[in-house]
Amino acid sequence: MSGAVPPGRLVLLRHGETEWSRDGRHTGRTDVPLTAEGERQAAGQAERLAKWSFELVATSPRRRATHTADLAGLAAPPAVERVVWDDLAEWDYGDYEGITTATIRETMPGWTVWTAPVPGGESAEQVGARADAVLARLRPALERGDVALVGHGHLLRVLIARWLGLAPRAGVHVTLAAGSVSVLGHEHEAAVIEALNLPA
């Protein structure tokens, strides 16, 4: 983010486990529900998140994200506002939707979503543009206090990279566990990661 440093912090909650995330299948547009373990992970963050006061909670439109937000207690109230933003949807994996990296590598050796084309899907730069739009949209709320985002592994990794002023592909250097909480903030003028992968 550029300009004057806003006082609020950004809390990221990755949705809980689904069958597809458990099995390593790329899950973008498909609306896969949480598993019982995913529901436990989400509910397990409620106590931690209850200690925060959020000006805004924004979720991906996918039910695995909105259900995670519900179970984690991220409702309005106590948050001032809760909204659904399409730009928080997961990376569009196109033709690779529902397929594991191992399977893709049978015909595309060394492939990763970070380094190679995604036929019929998004590039890292396109996902980065969505992350930038999210950061710009939440800034007014961040000027007033803390903000929570509930979304998906790859999208949130790109968003962390953009928060730090790095290229979208730098998200490859961060991993986010299902149901985990991470916190972004500032130290003086520098954007920082305050916490990463806090478990349920």
Helix (H) or strand (E) holding 67: helix 63-71
Q: 42-82, pLDDT tens digit by residue?
A: 999 999 999 999 999 999 999 999 999 999 999 988 888 99
Given 15, 67, 152, 154, which residue is catalytic? 15
Separation CA 91–CA 67 (nearest Å): 19
Neighbours of 161 (CB within 10 A): 22
pLDDT digits (tens, 9 = 90+) for 125-179: 999 999 999 999 999 999 999 999 999 999 999 999 999 999 999 999 999 999 9
The mean pLDDT of the chain is 96
Predicted TM-score (pTM) of this structure: 0.96
At residue 78, the pLDDT reads: 83
Nearest to 54 by CA among 72, 28, 74: 74
186 carries an active-site annotation = no
Q: Is 67 in the active site? A: no
Choosing from 17, 55, 90, 122, the catalytic residue is 90
Phi, psi torsion values for 181, nearest 5 degrees = -115, 140
- Residue carrying the six token digits 């979720």: 59
Q: Which domains does the chain have, with CATH numbers?
A: 10-190 (3.40.50.1240)
| The token pair that represents 113 in the structure block | 């979503």
- Asked whether residue 4 carries a pLDDT value surpassing 90, the answer given is no
Neighbouring CB atoms inside 10 A of 39's CB total 18
